[in-house]
Structure 1
């Protein structure tokens, strides 16, 4: 009898949770920050006297040194030294010793941007929100943020 009561309680809890998901509360929709991010990136470039190239997806990049080693693909495993910061200069992450990771396991801005360099190359990626973490907060990164990365491609593994 005790098990029947527990089973009954679990059934009620599941039913209540199911009905809550069907109420008329709208889910939060993602916001397209593309136009806002483009303005922010251009203002950053102007303020810092930088000139970037731009891909068809909206990724801005500056190649300081192309490098002369192997060129990664979007599925390569690479070792990258980087500093990630916001347009105001606040650093949110960095690895000076290098991070080894697959380019199919990172934000779209890295998957697209790192293969623009050869091994030994370095530069800057300016990643709009839709190629980063999107319009929702992620850890310490506010939704809609442009992310700036100083990148050094140490090796293609």
Structure 2
């Protein structure tokens, strides 16, 4: 009986100790909270950006041609990705295939704005990129990012 009471006491103390502690899980930043930072990046980098209703900024450099791209397509792209401080975290010079349904939301929403042969610059808020979890070690949590993407093929 003493063992049971002792175990219950320890369990109770553990439960009480865990109550009321702050949530240590990550908290995504709302898109609206990064709007000024995205606009500043566009201005500093000479990007004449339009704002998508979802909150990302984009500039279509070349619209491309052919059928519209959808999230069901695989796109063959070359791209460069940067943090807002200009740090390049990825650069792909030889076309790489991506199933559009499996990429970040910023790509899912931005790439369909162009077609095969098109080029677009995307300034993506963190909530439409890697959110609060980031993509470590290259992309910290809650980091808005920039991509310059050229679509070479659509399948």
**Shorter-normalised TM-score: what interval?**
0.7 to 0.9
SS at match of 1:144: coil
How many Å separate the matches in 1 of 2:98 and 2:31? Answer: 27
Which deviates further from its counterpart, 92-101 or 104-113?
Answer: 92-101
TM-score w.r.t. structure 1 length? 0.80
Q: What are the Cα deviations for residues 95-154 of structure 1, in whole angstroms up to 9, with x where unaligned?
A: 111110111100000011111111000020111001000022321211111110010001
Alignment of 1:24-103 (within 5 A): 24=19, 25=21, 26-103=23-100
Residues of 2 paired with 1:68 and 1:87: CA distance?
30
2:106, 2:95 → 1: CA distance? 18
Q: Secondary structure at the match of 1:135?
A: helix
Maintained 8 Å contact 2:72/2:100: yes
Give, in whole Å, the separation in 1 of the partners of 2:74 and 2:112. Answer: 11
Name the CA distance, whole Å, in 2 between partners of 1:123 and 1:78. 14
CA contact (8 A) 2:62 2:118 kept: yes
For residues 144 and 135 of structure 2, the distance between their equivalents in structure 1, rounded to whole angstroms, comes to: 13
- The answer on whether the counterparts of 2:81 and 2:148 sit within 8 Å (CA) in structure 1 is yes
Check conservation: 2:111, 2:120, Cα contact below 8 A.
Answer: no
1:66–1:121 CA contact under 8 A, matched in 2: yes
Q: Contact conserved, 1:71 with 1:156, CA < 8 A, in 2?
A: no
**d(CA) in 1 for partners of 2:45 and 2:90?**
21
Residue 93 of structure 1 aligns to a residue whose secondary structure is: strand
User: 2: distance between equivalents of 1:70 and 1:97?
Assistant: 23
RMSD of aligned Cα (Å): 2.0
> 1:45 Cα deviation (Å)?
1.6
**Equivalent residue number for residue 136 of structure 1:** 133
